[in-house]
Copies of this chain bind each other. A is one copy, B any other.
Amino acid sequence: MTAHINSKEQVEAILDKYDYFLFDCDGVLWLGDHLLPWVVETLDLLKQRGKSIVFVTNNSTKSRNDYLKKFAKLGIDGIKKQEVFGSSYASANYIDKILKLPKEQKIWVLGEQGIEQELSELGYKTIGGSDPAYNIQFDENHPDLNQLDDSVGAVIAGLTTNVNYLKLSITLQYLLKNNKSLPFIATNIDSTFPMKGKLMIGAGSIIETVSFASGRQPDAICGKPNQSMMDSIKADNPPLQQSPARGLMIGDRLNTDMRFGLEGGLDTLLVLTGIESLQSIEQSNIKPTYYANKLGDFYQLTK
């Protein structure tokens, strides 16, 4: 039974019970460019109580530095880079720490600058991605289609609103190259994401195209609910690694955020400011530990 957070006593009990508060961002802290009410005050409350905070986001179009700017712009101050865990960083980290790809190998990117920046910080060169040279009408004689770069050692695919047939086609050639042996990393596989009250095409839906065409599933998915992202967070936060039950994952999606926390051994809290409703909880197999109408209730209920 998912408990509804609607009293000061419940909030205080939660503040006692957990040391780590993991947050999904869009739909929890903000909606698009609009900060949700009492979010700053709730985060301040957690910091005053000495809680560790981790922001976990599947949006791969932004790097951690981009996120710091977004937090500041929305008036959420004092966030540190190591508190931000994006799928672009997690993917770059996976290439570096797990695949141990040599730095002289390049990465073909179907995605945006967030991925490129995180890879660059780790010392990798990329091709594709946000390079405007690929924002052109498809031409079957494009040199990249006919002459693949042999120094490419991996493919990362994520969300890009600059997707086009040329980029999809080149991505397919790299996925088929060397008998389909180049590692294929997906930043995340969200089918959609909410924007201004509408569902938009998510990274997972774009990745479906190259996945279906190549007959390959991604070798790794570095976004919620995949546990490779949780493993990375725990690796950077040893107390959470030791006692995952002292962590609370807060999000607005059952099949990504809540599943991510649950499978990682954390308790979970669903907020109803994103895409789910009370009805979705009733209809789902995934039962969060708690739900709240909005994150800001934490602060408001303590007043």
Interface residues of A in 148-207 (CB under 8 A from B): 160-165, 168-169, 172-173, 176, 191-192, 195-196, 198-202, 204-206
Chain B min CB distance to A288 (Å): 22
Contact between B140 and A196 (Cβ–Cβ < 8 Å)? yes
Contact of A163 among B165, B172, B204, B210 (CB under 8 A): B165
Give the complex CA separation of A296 and B191 in angstroms. Answer: 46
Give the complex CA separation of A176 and B198 in angstroms. Answer: 10
Residues of B within 8 A of A215 (CB): 191
Contact between A172 and B200 (Cβ–Cβ < 8 Å)? yes
Give the complex CA separation of A152 and B96 in angstroms. Answer: 49
Chain B min CB distance to A202 (Å): 7
Contact between A199 and B176 (Cβ–Cβ < 8 Å)? yes
Tell me if A137 counts as interface (CB < 8 A to partner B): yes
Tell me if A213 counts as interface (CB < 8 A to partner B): yes
Contact between A208 and B212 (Cβ–Cβ < 8 Å)? yes
Give the complex CA separation of A192 and B172 in angstroms. Answer: 10
Residues of B within 8 A of A162 (CB): 137-138, 164-165
Chain B min CB distance to A109 (Å): 16
Interface residues on A, range: 35 or more
Given that A138-B161, A160-B165 are contacting pairs, would A172 and B195 also be in contact in the complex, using a CB cutoff of 8 Å? Answer: no
Tell me if A145 counts as interface (CB < 8 A to partner B): yes
Tell me if A209 counts as interface (CB < 8 A to partner B): yes
Give the complex CA separation of A213 and B163 in angstroms. Answer: 15
Residues of B within 8 A of A146 (CB): 196, 198
Residues of B within 8 A of A172 (CB): 192, 199-201
Residues of A that sit less than 8 Å from B by CB = 137-138, 140, 145-146, 160-165, 168-169, 172-173, 176, 191-192, 195-196, 198-202, 204-206, 208-213, 215
The 9 nearest A-B residue pairs measured at CB: A205-B213, A138-B161, A208-B208, A161-B165, A208-B212, A205-B212, A205-B209, A168-B201, A201-B213
Q: Can you list 22 pairs linking A and B with CB atoms under 8 Å apart?
A: A137-B161, A140-B195, A140-B200, A161-B165, A163-B168, A164-B164, A169-B201, A172-B192, A172-B199, A172-B201, A176-B199, A191-B212, A191-B215, A192-B213, A199-B213, A201-B209, A201-B213, A205-B209, A205-B213, A208-B209, A208-B211, A208-B212
